[in-house]
Structure 1
Amino acid sequence: MHWLYKFKNMKRILIFITVLTALAFTDSFVGSTSVIIAPNSKLLINVKTNVNSFKCHYDVLKLNKPISVSFKNHGDKISFKKTTLVLENVNFDCGGPGINNDFKELLKTKTYPKIFINLREINKDQNNENSIHALVDLEIAGVTKSYTIPIELKEEGTLFIKGVLPLNIRDFNLDPPKKALGLIVVKDVIEINFELAVKKY
Structure 2
Amino acid sequence: MKKVLFYIFIFTMLAFSSLRGISVVITPSSQLVIKGKTNVNSFKCQYNILKLNKPIPVFFKRHKAKIIFNKTTLVLENADFDCGGRGINTDFQELLKSETHPQIRIKLKEISKDLKDENLVNALLDLELAGVTKSYVIPVELEGEDILVVKGVLCLNIRDFNLEPPKKALGLIVVEDLIEINFQLKVKEY
User: Shorter-chain TM-score: what band?
Assistant: over 0.9
State whether residues 119 and 136 of structure 1, in contact with CA within 8 Å, keep that contact through their aligned partners in structure 2: yes
Structure 1, unmatched stretches of 5+, are: 1-6, 15-22
The residue that corresponds to 1:124 in the other structure is 113
Corresponding residue number in structure 2 for 1:173: 162
* TM-superposed deviation, 1:26: 2.7
Q: How many residues align?
A: 187
Q: Which position in structure 2 is the counterpart of 1:69?
A: 58
- Contact 2:32/2:183 (CA < 8 Å) preserved in 1? yes
SS at match of 2:171: coil
Q: RMSD of aligned C-alpha atoms?
A: 1.7
Alpha-carbon displacement from aligned partner over 1:140-194 (angstroms, at most 9, x marks no partner): 0000000001000011530100000000000000000000010000000000000
CA distance in 2, matches of 1:92, 1:172: 18
Note the alpha carbon deviations across 1:51-79, whole angstroms, 9 max, x for none: 10011000000001111100011131100
Contact 1:28–1:75 (8 Å) recurs in 2: no
Residue 99 of structure 2 aligns with an amino acid whose one-letter code is: K
**1:118/1:138 contact within 8 Å kept:** yes
Moved more, 53-62 or 149-158: 149-158
Letter in 2 for 1:107: L
Q: 1:119 to 1:60 in 2, by over 3 A?
A: same
Amino acid at match of 1:125: D
Which one of 152, 172, 175 corresponds to residue 183 of structure 1?
A: 172
Equivalent residue number for residue 99 of structure 1: 88
Check whether the contact 2:119–2:142 (CA below 8 A) recurs between aligned residues. no
The correspondence for 2:183, drawn from 194, 197, 201, is 194
What percent of counterpart residues are identical? 63
Letter of the 2:43 partner, please give it: F
> Does the 8 A contact of 1:86 with 1:116 survive in 2?
yes
Per the normalisation by structure 2, the TM-score is: 0.92
Aligned counterparts of 2:152 and 2:53: Cα–Cα separation in 1: 21
AA at the equivalent of 2:48: D
- Structure 1 residues 58 and 79, CA, compared in 2 at 3 Å: closer, same or farther? same
Gaps of 5+ in 2: none
Q: Tell me the TM-score normalized by structure 1.
A: 0.88
Mapped to 2, the partners of 1:11 and 1:25 lie a distance apart of 10
2:130 to 137, 141, 154: 141
Q: 1:44 maps to which residue?
A: 33
